[in-house]
Amino acid sequence: MPSKKALNPPEGECRQCWLHAYDSREQHKHLKPRQDCPACVSHMGGRHPEHMIVKG
């Protein structure tokens, strides 16, 4: 189960990126060694869907 920190990103942060950063092992356990996470790759370069950004 993700930690409280992983589930509660601060304002302005992407929920998916925050979860993958603070619950990395669980979120990436399905990947083969050295395989990039498709969800993380899709967000590289600041392309975060607006609905995933925490609003104040």
The residue ranges of every structural domain in the chain are 4-52
- pLDDT value at position 13? 93
- pLDDT value at position 24? 95
- pLDDT value at position 29? 95
Nearest alpha-carbon partner for 16 in 6, 25, 31, 26 = 6
Strand partners, 14: 53
**pLDDT tens-digit profile of 2-56?**
999 999 999 999 999 999 999 999 999 999 999 999 989 988 877 888 999 999 8
- pLDDT value at position 28? 95
- pLDDT value at position 19? 95
Q: How far apart are CA 32 and CA 46, in angstroms?
A: 25
Q: How far apart are CA 12 and CA 37, in angstroms?
A: 22
